[in-house]
Amino acid sequence: MKKLISAVVLAAVCAGAPLCLGDVVREGSGARRTALNAMELKPFPSEIWSKLSDWSGGKALASSDTSGQVVLICTWSGWYPPSTRALSVAKRLAEEKAKDGLVVVAVHHPDGWKEAEKPQAAEGAKLFIALDEKSEFRKALMVDQDPDFYLIDRAGQLRYADIATESVNEAVRTLLAETQEKAAGLTGEIAAAKAKQDEEFRKTGNIRQGVDIRAMPEVPFTEPQPEVYGRAGWPRVEKSQNSYEQSTGQLITLPEEGWFPAKPKVKGRVMVIYVFSPFIRKSYEDIIPAMDQLQRQHGRDMAVVGSVAPIRPDNQQNAEGQDPAALTTLAKSFATSRTLDHSILADGGSAAGFSGSGQNTLPWVVIASSDGVVRWSGSPNSPSFRAAVDQVLRADPGVKSRREAEEKYIREKK
């Protein structure tokens, strides 16, 4: 992981989240995730400590008690196994990192408090246990499902709001490596980075005067060799809980026919192919708008494709899946009834290597690098999906080569 400010500068340009530090994965989506993002890099509302009761491990906390320290908050429920496993992660960190300035606060759900086993940390660890009796603490932090993790930096700012359990170690290391002064100056660093980015954008805009990016032809470029792709840093693939799992390394092959409105440009671009069924609302209702937004955000470097798989709610593949003409009609009808910035493909999910037949397998998505190799697969609802998209875009050597050729073309056209 890039250290400190270099990672933070990267965060300033990550779409949809104020901080995309290294491999730290945020949970949640939609309006809730947007609201959580807005809470980050703001002073932690220390008054909500008073909403907690039944403290153990020390007296009730106040903001003055944690000044200059990093605070890890773990919400948990003693009766929920995934939650208790997450608590063990928090306890271990409290014991290992207390000497470095880490304070851990485990906040229990209103239910099951009396029966819950309260962990006892080793001597020297700063592990506080408290009860959120009226759920007021949870409400203030928009906690949705235990376990949720939040981190406060040495300057008293809420730096990470609801991150994945597997990202907690990385996030703790990042914040402990900072000084209080560095954490306090982080907002200014990001503002300066954003100003620099804007200045570079204006310079690029001057170069592009008279050149319509949207009308720019496909510029020839030298495609990187396979070994260059092999050295790139691709995302780690998560284990899927669905009955269908797509492995990385598969080569994507796009058909020439069955596209609505047209086959997208894919040379030197990352491909995101999601599979949905027009017969299963949950497989497309929220996913299609999100994918369309993804296409608009990364249109220069990405081709988003919606692949139609005619699966019925009863888990039976419909006859349209066996009849290419019927499937084409179905996809065309679905695409033309919406105004989309990405293409719909009538292929039954085969371009994405999809062979599932049950409704629980949808929606499904694969991310392929510009050489057509699948680098990540899973549910688009996964908190890891957007992080994987960002990582593939950053790592893809074909995208970099194409962009360099386009910039040269623009300069020569000036």
Inside any domain, residue 400: yes
The per-residue pLDDT for 313 is 76
Crossing angle (nearest 10°) for helices 397-413 and 186-207: 50
Identify the three-state secondary structure at position 157.
strand
Residue position matching structure tokens 């950053």 = 394
The pLDDT score that the predictor gives to residue 7 is: 37
Q: 108: alpha, beta or left, given left = phi > 0 and alpha = psi -120 to 50?
A: beta
Q: How far apart are CA 373 and CA 252, in angstroms?
A: 6
What lies within 8 Å, CB to CB, of 92 at 6+ separation is: none
Q: Of 358, 378, 122, 152, which is closest to residue 247 (Cα–Cα)?
A: 378
For the chain, the domain total comes to 2
Q: Are residues 176 and 230 in the same domain?
A: no
Supply the pLDDT for residue 121: 81
The verdict on 180 and 246 lying in the same domain is: no
Backbone angles phi, psi at 62, to 5 degrees: -135, 165
Residue 196 belongs to some domain of the structure? no
What is the three-class DSSP state of 302?
Answer: strand
Q: Are residues 268 and 380 in the same domain?
A: yes
- Within 10 angstroms of residue 202's Cβ, the number of other Cβ atoms is 9
Q: Domain ends where: 161, 187, 213?
A: 187
Tell how strand 364-368 and strand 53-56 pair up.
unpaired
Final residue in a domain of this structure, among 160, 187, 214: 187
Q: In what order do the strands lie in the sheet with 259-260?
A: 259-260, 343-345, 302-308, 270-276, 364-368, 374-378
Amino acid at 37: N
Identify the CA nearest to 269 among candidates 300, 293, 297.
Answer: 300
200 is a domain residue: no
The SS3 call for residue 226 is helix
Residues 100 and 175 in one domain: yes
Q: Find out whether 52 and 30 touch, Cβ atoms under 8 Å.
A: no
Residues 234 and 374 in one domain: yes
My answer on whether 176 and 38 are in the same domain is: yes
d(CA 60, CA 70): 17
Q: Are residues 231 and 351 in the same domain?
A: yes
Considering the domain boundaries, does residue 201 fall inside one? no
Nearest CA to 112 out of 83, 88, 136 is that of: 83
d(CA 398, CA 381): 27
| pLDDT tens for the chain, residues 1 to 414 | 333 333 333 343 333 333 334 457 788 777 888 899 889 999 999 999 999 999 999 889 887 888 899 999 999 999 988 888 899 999 999 999 999 999 999 999 999 999 999 988 888 899 999 999 999 999 999 999 899 999 999 999 999 999 988 889 989 999 999 999 988 888 777 777 666 656 655 555 554 555 555 567 889 999 999 999 999 989 876 544 443 445 568 899 999 999 999 999 999 999 999 999 888 888 888 889 889 989 988 988 999 999 998 887 765 544 444 577 888 888 888 788 888 899 999 998 888 888 765 566 788 899 999 999 999 998 888 878 888 899 999 999 999 999 999 988 888 876
For residue 267, what are the contacts with CB-CB under 8 A and spacing of at least 6?
218, 223, 370, 398, 402
Strand partners, 158: 42, 152
Task: Please state, in angstroms and rounded to a whole number, the distance separating the CA atoms of residues 351 and 274.
Answer: 10
Residue 193 lies in a domain: no
Provide the pLDDT for residue 248.
66
Give residue 213's identity as a one-letter amino acid code: I
Does 232 lie in the same domain as 180? no
Show the domain range for 29: 4-187
Residue 93 lies in a domain: yes
- pLDDT score, position 211: 55
Q: Which of 132-152 are b and which e, b meaning 16 or more Cβ less than 10 Å from the residue's Cβ?
A: beeeebbeebbbeebbbbbbb
| Whether residue 132 is found in the same domain as residue 238 | no
Whole-angstrom distance, CA of residue 340 vs CA of residue 292: 6
Taking the C-alpha atoms of residue 274 and residue 268, their distance in angstroms, rounded to an integer, is 19
Residue 105, domain CATH: 3.40.30.10
168 and 314 fall within a common domain: no
pTM value > 0.85: no
Residues 163 and 265 in one domain: no
Judgement on whether residues 178 and 234 belong to the same structural domain of the protein: no
Q: Is residue 209 part of a domain?
A: no
